[in-house]
């Protein structure tokens, strides 16, 4: 949910007419949402890294031979790195817009570039998580290391972003869906660990690895 707060709930509401004015749109922006966005976004990054660390610990015991499990960790960490940049742009706007600690440092034309980057980059940053979802679906549906419903949900979460990418070139759709997938995945893993000990999963995967 912090991810949503970082880039969806704090998105700047300007009209298409205001956007069309070029650098003049900067006068319509308020720094508050950008300030909230960078704080929430970087907290979301920390949560993702904790998730990745917990996942790696589980994988080291439950599925040490699974390449798909490794892809999950890599995808999440890749997104975390991209998010630091994406949400960092929000932080730049928070300090450079009127009312910020470094207001009047740059002209409106420079801030317009940051505004344009912020329009999509925080959404694109979630693509690593979407790729992790693909790996989870394989780990679940093919390797049977996770419940089937997790694999199905993971696969469904990837199809809309993939369709939008192929049909239109839009690369930011994971920013809409992937934060919700992380919440569902976290809840699913919590239930999984409570109901099925890691050792039992590992023993089931051992013959397949051999």
3-state secondary structure the chain: CHHHHHHCCCCCCCCHHHHCCHHHHHHHCCHHHHHHHHHHHHHHHHHHHHHHHHHHHHHHHHCCCCHHHHHHHHHHHHHHHHHHHHHHHHHHHHHHCCCCCCCCCCCHHHHHHHHHHHCCHHHHCCHHHHHHHHHHHHHHHCCCCCCHHHHHHHHHHHHHHHHHHHHHCCCCCHHHHHHHHHHHHHHHHHHHHHHCCHHHHHHHHHHHHC
Q: What is the pLDDT of residues 15-50, one digit of tens each?
A: 677 777 788 888 888 899 999 999 999 999 999 999
Residue 196: the pLDDT is 55
User: For 153-178, how does the pLDDT look when each residue is reduced to its tens digit (9 = 90+)?
Assistant: 999 999 999 999 999 999 999 999 99
Give average pLDDT by consecutive 10-residue segment, the chain, 210 residues.
64 73 85 92 93 89 87 95 94 93 90 90 94 95 90 95 95 91 85 58 46
State pTM to two decimals. Answer: 0.83
- What total number of domains does the chain contain? 1
pLDDT at position 200 is 44
Structural domain range at position 54: 2-209
Specify the pLDDT at position 2: 65
**pLDDT (0 to 100) of residue 207:** 47
């Amino acid at each position: 949910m912090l991810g949503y707060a970082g880039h969806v709930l704090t998105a700047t509401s300007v009209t298409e007419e205001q956007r069309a004015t070029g650098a003049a749109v900067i006068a319509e922006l308020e720094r508050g949402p950008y300030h909230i966005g960078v704080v929430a976004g970087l907290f979301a990054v920390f949560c993702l890294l904790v998730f990745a660390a917990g996942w790696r610990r589980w994988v080291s015991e439950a599925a040490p031979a699974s390449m798909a499990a490794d892809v999950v960790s890599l995808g999440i960490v890749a997104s975390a790195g991209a998010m630091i940049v994406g949400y960092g742009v929000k932080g730049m706007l928070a300090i450079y817009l009127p009312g910020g600690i470094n207001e009047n440092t740059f002209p409106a034309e420079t801030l317009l570039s940051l505004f344009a980057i912020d329009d999509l980059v925080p959404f694109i940053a979630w693509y690593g998580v979407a790729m992790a979802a693909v790996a989870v679906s394989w780990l679940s549906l093919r390797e049977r290391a996770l419940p089937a419903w997790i694999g199905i949900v993971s696969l469904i979460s990837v199809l809309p972003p993939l369709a939008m990418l192929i049909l239109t070139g839009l690369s930011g759709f994971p920013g809409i869906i992937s934060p919700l997938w992380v919440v569902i995945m976290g809840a699913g893993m919590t239930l999984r660990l409570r109901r099925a000990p890691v050792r039992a999963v590992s023993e089931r995967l051992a013959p397949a690895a051999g």
